[in-house]
Amino acid sequence: MTDEKAIKIPVEATHIMMFARSIGDYSPEFHDAEQAQQTDAGGIVAPPTFLQSLAQFNPDYFLRPKPGEAWFGSGKEPSGVVGKATSSGGLHAEQHFEFERPVRPGDVLYATVKDGDSWVKESKRAGKLTFSERITEYRDENGELVCTARGVGVTTERPVDQG
Amino acid sequence: MTLKASEISVGDTFEEVLVEDLKRTQLVMYAGASGDYNPLHTDDLYCREAAGYPGVFAHGMLTMGMTGRVVTNLFGPESIKKYGVRFTNQVWPGDDLSGKAEIEAIREEGGEMLVDVKLTTTNQNGDVVVTGAATARVDP
């Protein structure tokens, strides 16, 4: 029933705990099953931005080093990629989540990603800005929609001026 | 305890300190948990000598995650229907961030009571780093 290109995301309590810590959120809903039961959440739930960790489950995610492939972060040299590094790689411009229900440990979600609109703008601080939109749908094992995410990325002509 | 619709009014504001003196370690934690290992957020040498930035800076999604705490603390993480942001300025190690939520509407839709909230996160210089909006389900 699932799209073969869909990315499978088994949602686990430990991952929710690590993610919550990483955003500085120590609420019981994210950390302790027994305490979470005493809250309105009735058990552990994921923080609203948790599904961004889709990156962990995407086999082709480009911002993760892979065996046998050059990685653009530093090692012996400031960048592991010979020649000019990706000096003005993509930045995140917008992110939106719309939930049909909360995400909980034990959920197995399937994410499908498609491209949305793209547009260009001029800016003083970083030159030409190219925006592109990506829509990600997260469905459960029954094919029910759980979340729709819309991200807007921007690539800049040069690094953003800090002046 | 989360707020009920009867306990809030349009125009009410709530503020929360999201982080003081943001540490590079927090960026590493976010990279590890989210899977976004872009060296722009964890690799100072790469930033300075290859990418042309003064150093590492926070993932936008870390700021969005921290900002989300303002809403989840008010209404509970299970109640969030919508949450969206626009990233307006970069966030750097050492920054102090504070998040503000303003109640924009309290309404009924499809038999549910909903609250719409406007979000603004500001750094120690008063620069807005994130603007956003959220909708949460509330008890009457």
Tens digits of residue pLDDT in A82-115: 765 554 467 899 999 999 999 999 999 999 999 9
- The CATH number that applies at residue A152 is 3.10.129.10
Q: Is residue A70 part of a domain?
A: no
Residues of A in contact with B83 (CB under 8 A): 48-49, 96-97
Whether A125 is covered by a domain: the verdict is yes
For residue A87, the model assigns a pLDDT of 46
Question: What's the pLDDT at A89?
Answer: 61
CATH of B5-22+58-137, one of 3.40.190.10, 3.10.129.10, 3.40.50.300, 3.40.50.1000: 3.10.129.10
The CA distance from B84 to B131, in Å, is: 9
Q: Are A162 and B48 spatial neighbours (Cβ–Cβ below 8 Å)?
A: no
Of A41, A88, A95, the CB nearest to B61: A95
- C-beta of residue A162 within 8 angstroms of C-beta of residue A105: no
Q: Which of residues 92-121 of A touch B (CB under 8 A)?
A: 92-99, 102
For A22-63, write each residue's pLDDT tens digit: 999 999 999 999 999 999 999 999 999 999 999 999 999 999
- Domain residues for the domain of A89 are 7-63+81-156
Provide the residue ranges of all domains of chain B, joining segments of one domain with +. 5-22+58-137, 23-57
- Rounded Cα distance, A12 and B85, in Å: 26
Q: Is residue A161 part of a domain?
A: no
- pLDDT for the residue A39: 95
Per-residue pLDDT at A1: 47
The reported pLDDT for the residue numbered A125 is 85
At residue A124, the pLDDT reads 87
As a whole number of angstroms, the distance between CA A112 and CA A142 comes to: 15
Whether A85 maps to a domain, the answer reads yes
Q: Which residues of chain B have pLDDT under 50?
A: none
Specify the number of domains making up chain A: 1
What per-residue confidence (pLDDT) applies to A86?
A: 53
The answer to whether the CB atoms of A92 and B26 lie below 8 A apart is no
Measured in degrees and rounded to the nearest 5, phi and psi for residue A21 equal -60, -40
Each residue of A154-163: pLDDT tens digit? 988 887 777 6
Distances (CA, A) of A131 to A21, A91, A92, B18, B83: 31, 10, 9, 28, 20
